[in-house]
A = this chain, B = another copy of it.
Amino acid sequence: LSHSNLNPNRTSPLSLARAFSSATDPIRATLFPGDGIGPEIAESVKQVFRAAEVPIEWEEHYVGDQIDPRTQSFLTWESLESVRRNGVGLKGPMATPIGKGHRSLNLTLRKELNLYANVRPCYSLPGYKTRYDNVNLITIRENTEGEYSGLEHQVVRGVVESLKIITRQASLRVAEYAFHYAKTHGRERVSAIHKANIMQKTDGLFLKCCREVAEKYPEITYEEVVIDNCCMMLVKNPALFDVLVMPNLYGDIISDLCAGLVGGLGLTPSCNIGEGGIALAEAVHGSAPDIAGKNLANPTALLLSAVSMLHHLNLHDKADRIQDAILKTIAEGNHRTADLGGSSTTTDFTKAICDHL
């Protein structure tokens, strides 16, 4: 597995804009450490970035303790403004507090920042054995509509319905992103995942948009795979897939399935792409309140997400160096956290990574 194959150069609109500012100015990026183990794994990222001399200045924002009426959630308007202003951010796990009258933090972020594509690279970590070798695929999930419309109602007692909405605009946008990603990352194939044999109009429109975009990328092989069959193929032979693009719920399901193939959400990065070149990288695992504050958490998912943020900023050298150090540390095996079968603390593991830099 070549690391550069996982993250070859790619020019993002944001970093083109940045070319006009001075190259030595530090870059401001928003950091949401999140809840539970969030602050510890965020600390790990900060240490690794310092050790690698990444020219980033963090602007930290915490989840509030009161509902902000402008976001209808515990996320404050100021924290969203910070991401909008900086264009990039990194987010730890956020446990949506239970209660009435507010929106989920994840959904608020996606909605307010118009984070239309969720990109999750999923590859076997060298030296970390699972049932699968050589997994190397990317799931690209439409992140704004579909089954997540929030439109539900009770028709009569005992009969409820929810609306799945698919639009041409959002489908074209995510399809464009997927093909562009494939092309600029040396990928060969895009598979659109759907259930258009049942949802002919909604998933049918999604496929139609993918086909339209596919025509503009004759060098990329395009195929369509029904979601049930896709899941069977993924568990039998994930090497059949390269880049997968799909509506919201299928992306939610398949990205977790794929993470499971290589060890789980604690090891896989995620990055959300929004209009205007915004990128919000995030660890998608939970906040693990049971081990919070105990220096036991594995920061890998957040670190690799931070790496994807660096690529987005065109800081490819830094990104590659950090990724190499993370993968080497895991591969060596003597500094693994408990979730990977080791007995290292978060700080030990982080130090081992820094030593590899």
User: Would you mind naming 28 contact pairs between A and B with Cβ atoms under 8 Å apart?
Assistant: A131-B131, A147-B164, A147-B199, A152-B200, A158-B167, A158-B168, A158-B169, A158-B205, A159-B166, A159-B168, A160-B166, A160-B201, A160-B202, A160-B204, A161-B164, A161-B165, A161-B202, A162-B164, A228-B252, A228-B255, A231-B260, A232-B257, A232-B259, A235-B257, A235-B260, A236-B264, A253-B253, A257-B257
Output the least CB separation between A234 and chain B (Å). 7
> Chain A residues in contact with chain B, CB under 8 A?
104, 130-132, 147-148, 152-155, 157-169, 195, 197-202, 204-205, 227-229, 231-236, 249, 252-257, 259-261, 263-265
Name A104's closest neighbour in chain B (CB-CB): B197
A164-B162, A199-B152 known; A253-B228 Cβ under 8 A: yes
Alpha-carbon separation in the docked complex, A158 to B167 (Å): 5
Alpha-carbon separation in the docked complex, A259 to B234 (Å): 11
A153-B201, A195-B249, A198-B148 known; A232-B264 Cβ under 8 A: yes
The interface residues of chain B lying within 8 Å CB-to-CB of A254 are 231
Alpha-carbon separation in the docked complex, A219 to B29 (Å): 53
Alpha-carbon separation in the docked complex, A116 to B185 (Å): 46
Alpha-carbon separation in the docked complex, A162 to B163 (Å): 6
The interface residues of chain B lying within 8 Å CB-to-CB of A236 are 130, 260, 263-264
Alpha-carbon separation in the docked complex, A255 to B229 (Å): 10
Alpha-carbon separation in the docked complex, A256 to B132 (Å): 18
Contact A235 B235 (CB under 8 A): yes
The interface residues of chain B lying within 8 Å CB-to-CB of A205 are 158, 160
- As for how many copies of this chain the complex holds, the number is 2
* Other A-B pairs beyond A161-B166, A228-B256, A236-B260, 18, CB < 8 Å: A147-B164, A147-B199, A148-B198, A152-B201, A159-B165, A159-B166, A160-B166, A161-B163, A162-B163, A164-B164, A227-B253, A228-B253, A231-B260, A232-B259, A234-B257, A236-B263, A236-B264, A253-B253
The interface residues of chain B lying within 8 Å CB-to-CB of A155 are 165
Q: Which of A163, A201, A235: most chain B CB closer than 10 A?
A: A235
The interface residues of chain B lying within 8 Å CB-to-CB of A200 are 152
Alpha-carbon separation in the docked complex, A254 to B235 (Å): 11
Alpha-carbon separation in the docked complex, A254 to B199 (Å): 18
Name A263's closest neighbour in chain B (CB-CB): B236
Output the least CB separation between A300 and chain B (Å). 16
Alpha-carbon separation in the docked complex, A108 to B131 (Å): 39
The interface residues of chain B lying within 8 Å CB-to-CB of A104 are 197
Contact A231 B231 (CB under 8 A): yes
Contact A165 B169 (CB under 8 A): no
Alpha-carbon separation in the docked complex, A264 to B232 (Å): 7
Alpha-carbon separation in the docked complex, A253 to B249 (Å): 12
The interface residues of chain B lying within 8 Å CB-to-CB of A154 are 201
The interface residues of chain B lying within 8 Å CB-to-CB of A131 are 131-132, 235
Alpha-carbon separation in the docked complex, A308 to B343 (Å): 47
